[in-house]
Amino acid sequence: MQRITSLEQYQTEYKHSVENPEAFWAEQAEQFTWHKKWDKVLEWNFDEPNVKWFVGGKLNITENCLDRHLADKGNQTAILWEPNNPQTPARKISYKELHQQVCEFASVLKNNGAKKGDRICIYMPMVPELAIAVLACARIGAIHSVVFGGFSFKSLSDRIYDAECNIVITADGAFRGAKDIPLKSVVDEALQTSPSVKKVIVLKHTNTNVVMQNERDVWWKEEVEKLNLTGIQNLSGFKAEIMDSEDPLFILYTSGSTGKPKGVVHTTAGYMTYVDYTFRNVFQYNAGDVYWCTADVGWITGHSYLVYGPLLAGATTLMFEGIPTYPDAGRFWNVIDKHQVNIFYTAPTAIRSLEALGLDFVKPYKLDSLRVLGSVGEPINVEAWNWYHVNIGKNKCPIVDTYWQTETGGIMISPLAGITPTKPGFATLPLPGVQPVLLNEAGKELIGNSVEGRLCFKFPWPGIIRTTYGDHKRCKETYFDVFKKYYFTGDGCRRDEDGYYRITGRVDDVIKVSGHLLGTAEIENAINEHPDIVESAVVGFPHDIKGWGIYAYVICDHQRKDVDALKAEIVQTVTKYMGPIAKPDKIQIVSGLPKTRSGKIMRRILRKIAEHDLDNLGDTSTLLDPAVVEEIKAGAVK
């Protein structure tokens, strides 16, 4: 499959994609294996919203990820797995082997009662079986809902409950650096409030002790062995279920402004076409390259650019179980040399934390296999961009700063590696098929360059969110009603004098902490689980490494003298209910919160205090009790 190779070609292709989007995307979708071609490329309106791509088409995405490559790439490595412990051998799984294992596990799912349309929750460590589980669901037409292994039982059970999953796929535990996280016991706790779950399939990985519940819990390995024991293979899973273009492929939960996470729904053909196109063009993948995306499959980046995008393109995708600082802060660079990685895609927060630990961890490594570097998840600051460019890319690797969201399915604004001239801090230009606009607060389009506003898209692309699971109204209200006729991202953005886009950050109540999108309301709910806390308000504050840190203002229902112990308990509570990623960095105990007369918390004021911008609190006269602001200012945590 060819790709864009010059800036002129990008410009021509962009123009074509805007003038004739249906022809453009149909050309991209031609290469795939279809059981039936589409009748119509696109049907859409942003009012309901209702978006359908490749209407009437029939296909299975795993035939395009796997079967399609068997003839010429059967023996090529599909997944290259690097374990948490550098002493454990790496694993190489060829396209042929991956195909076989996906088919086997698809049979296991069927034998355990799974069928097309079921929702299956996957809560696993970063091991190849995670990708196998994802693909096996897609093989049989079940809708996967992967929950990040760093989330705790409450977040997990909320997600299982919302999607009414009937099966959970998990492992005994996960290795993360020196730690060993007992995933199965978190599942057990979550399932106490998840009546929909009938089966739990457990992979043995850490050998942590687990309690297996009779009837409900089965071992992955035993279920696969059963297939072979019967002598005749159970072939039902081997044959891919034929899906409609618009059948849901997966649900992925993302944080929103309320405490309830939103189940973003992606469908089959559009998502497939979009992640394949963007993967090949943004990273400029060449046959034989080793490509490494460090994101966890629990996030959209892992779905689109660790599993689906690379496999659709027939690439070798590296999957890493561990963390950047184990056994030391040179691990990323060690893995790059060890596996001769050509394309490396990571997050600014990882770059900043490794930068802070010093160049001694970089120096032992050559890094000469690298050709392209990528960044995703939050704005990359100029300093981190330069450090990455000079010390990792040795001044010769283009950096693709890729802007996109869970809801967009794939990359929206980004350089094409080595083709689009880059500027540190800028995601640069929209990909073909992407039509960004900047609106002012009144919803008026800002025309021309050197303008700043709210980033929206005015035309659908194939990877766009279709609905929020079980609640279409929420999808409409969150993304399509804020500005009529536009998809609204929730991000602020500047278009500079050259027409280059620079994302300035969220304009709503979600914060990006170390690249993880967290809702302040969800964190508040977790804090409020502490028996002594009556109310809390969470805001973000700029953090050198994490991008944003979490600042929590809490009201305690009685005077506790042991303030430090109380704060430690709050941190523990959040870890227990939500997971360590949501731990507050700063906690301030207050007697009240700044509220309007109608009872709304004035977060603007709390944000300013968290940033120590005490002289610019704006108008506080509309507050119910302005005195509380003085108290909070006086007690602000440095």
Near ligand 7RM by CB under 6 A, which window of 28-36, 40-48, 483-491, 589-597?
483-491
Q: Nearest approach, Cβ of 453 to ligand 7RM (angstroms)?
A: 15
CB 617, CB 607: distance < 8 Å: no
DSSP state of 137: H
Near ligand 7RM by CB under 6 A, which window of 68-76, 210-218, 293-301, 550-558?
293-301
Is 481 or 491 the residue whose CB approaches ligand 7RM more closely? 491
By CB under 6 A, tell whether 352 contacts ligand 7RM.
Answer: no
Is 172 or 401 the residue whose CB approaches ligand 7RM more closely? 401
One-letter amino acid of 632: I
Near ligand 7RM by CB under 6 A, which window of 5-13, 403-411, 555-563, 581-589?
403-411
Q: Which of 281, 406, 422, 536 contacts ligand 7RM by CB under 6 A? A: 406
CA separation for the pair 515, 43 (Å, rounded): 34
Q: Nearest approach, Cβ of 545 to ligand 7RM (angstroms)?
A: 16
Q: Nearest approach, Cβ of 88 to ligand 7RM (angstroms)?
A: 29
211 CB-contact burial (10 Å; exposed 0-12 / middle 13-18 / buried 19+): exposed
The Cβ of residue 586 has, within 10 Å, a number of other Cβ atoms equal to 16
Is 370 or 427 the residue whose CB approaches ligand 7RM more closely? 427
3-state secondary structure of 567: helix
- Among residues 411, 134, 126, the alpha carbon closest in space to that of 250 is found at 134
Q: Where are the beta strands (DSSP E) in 261-382?
A: 262-267, 290-293, 316-320, 343-346, 372-376
Q: Nearest approach, Cβ of 422 to ligand 7RM (angstroms)?
A: 12
The residue written with tokens 């990273």 in the block is 283
CA separation for the pair 280, 416 (Å, rounded): 9
Q: Nearest approach, Cβ of 300 to ligand 7RM (angstroms)?
A: 5
CA separation for the pair 34, 56 (Å, rounded): 11
Is 353 or 489 the residue whose CB approaches ligand 7RM more closely? 489
CA separation for the pair 200, 187 (Å, rounded): 9
Q: Nearest approach, Cβ of 170 to ligand 7RM (angstroms)?
A: 23
Near ligand 7RM by CB under 6 A, which window of 149-157, 284-292, 370-378, 457-465?
370-378
565 CB-contact burial (10 Å; exposed 0-12 / middle 13-18 / buried 19+): exposed
By CB under 6 A, tell whether 435 contacts ligand 7RM.
Answer: no
By CB under 6 A, tell whether 294 contacts ligand 7RM.
Answer: no
Is 73 or 352 the residue whose CB approaches ligand 7RM more closely? 352
Q: Nearest approach, Cβ of 496 to ligand 7RM (angstroms)?
A: 14
Q: Nearest approach, Cβ of 491 to ligand 7RM (angstroms)?
A: 5
- Among residues 498, 514, 599, 606, the alpha carbon closest in space to that of 551 is found at 606
By CB under 6 A, tell whether 346 contacts ligand 7RM.
Answer: no
DSSP state of 536: E
Is 254 or 520 the residue whose CB approaches ligand 7RM more closely? 254
CB 103, CB 133: distance < 8 Å: no
For 345, phi and psi rounded to 5 degrees? -125, 115
Q: Which of 300, 313, 417, 431 contacts ligand 7RM by CB under 6 A? A: 300
Cα separations in angstroms, 501 against 275, 315, 488, 496, 628: 21, 29, 16, 7, 40
CB 280, CB 313: distance < 8 Å: yes
The residue written with tokens 């009240």 in the block is 592
For 270, phi and psi rounded to 5 degrees? -65, -45
3-state secondary structure of 450: coil
Question: What sign results for the dihedral spanned by CA atoms 155, 157, 163, 165?
Answer: positive
CA separation for the pair 136, 327 (Å, rounded): 33
One-letter amino acid of 624: L
- Judged by CB under 6 A, the chain residues 208 through 247 that form the site for ligand 7RM are none
CA separation for the pair 466, 443 (Å, rounded): 23
Near ligand 7RM by CB under 6 A, which window of 326-334, 397-405, 546-554, 585-593?
397-405
By CB under 6 A, tell whether 401 contacts ligand 7RM.
Answer: yes
3-state secondary structure of 346: strand
- Give the total of residues touching ligand 7RM (CB under 6 A): 22
Q: Nearest approach, Cβ of 402 to ligand 7RM (angstroms)?
A: 5
Is 163 or 554 the residue whose CB approaches ligand 7RM more closely? 163
- Judged by CB under 6 A, the chain residues 301 through 320 that form the site for ligand 7RM are 301
Q: Which of 377, 462, 540, 549 contacts ligand 7RM by CB under 6 A? A: 377
- Judged by CB under 6 A, the chain residues 497 through 516 that form the site for ligand 7RM are 503, 506, 512
Q: Nearest approach, Cβ of 256 to ligand 7RM (angstroms)?
A: 11
By CB under 6 A, tell whether 141 contacts ligand 7RM.
Answer: no
Q: Which of 132, 202, 439, 517 contacts ligand 7RM by CB under 6 A? A: 517
Q: Which two tokens stand for residue 166?
A: 């009937």
Q: Which of 402, 420, 428, 528 contacts ligand 7RM by CB under 6 A? A: 402
Q: Nearest approach, Cβ of 602 to ligand 7RM (angstroms)?
A: 23
Cα separations in angstroms, 567 against 518, 524, 530: 20, 14, 10
By CB under 6 A, tell whether 101 contacts ligand 7RM.
Answer: no
Q: Which of 489, 514, 573, 588 contacts ligand 7RM by CB under 6 A? A: 489
Q: Which of 77, 157, 254, 428 contacts ligand 7RM by CB under 6 A? A: 254
CB 377, CB 512: distance < 8 Å: yes
CB 224, CB 108: distance < 8 Å: yes
By CB under 6 A, tell whether 378 contacts ligand 7RM.
Answer: yes
One-letter amino acid of 486: Y
By CB under 6 A, tell whether 490 contacts ligand 7RM.
Answer: yes
CB 253, CB 516: distance < 8 Å: no
The residue written with tokens 């709390």 in the block is 606
Is 56 or 425 the residue whose CB approaches ligand 7RM more closely? 425
By CB under 6 A, tell whether 379 contacts ligand 7RM.
Answer: yes
Is 173 or 463 the residue whose CB approaches ligand 7RM more closely? 463
Is 314 or 415 the residue whose CB approaches ligand 7RM more closely? 415
CA separation for the pair 283, 272 (Å, rounded): 17
Q: Nearest approach, Cβ of 301 to ligand 7RM (angstroms)?
A: 5
Q: Which residues bind ligand 7RM (CB under 6 A)?
A: 254, 299-301, 376-379, 401-406, 427, 489-491, 503, 506, 512, 517
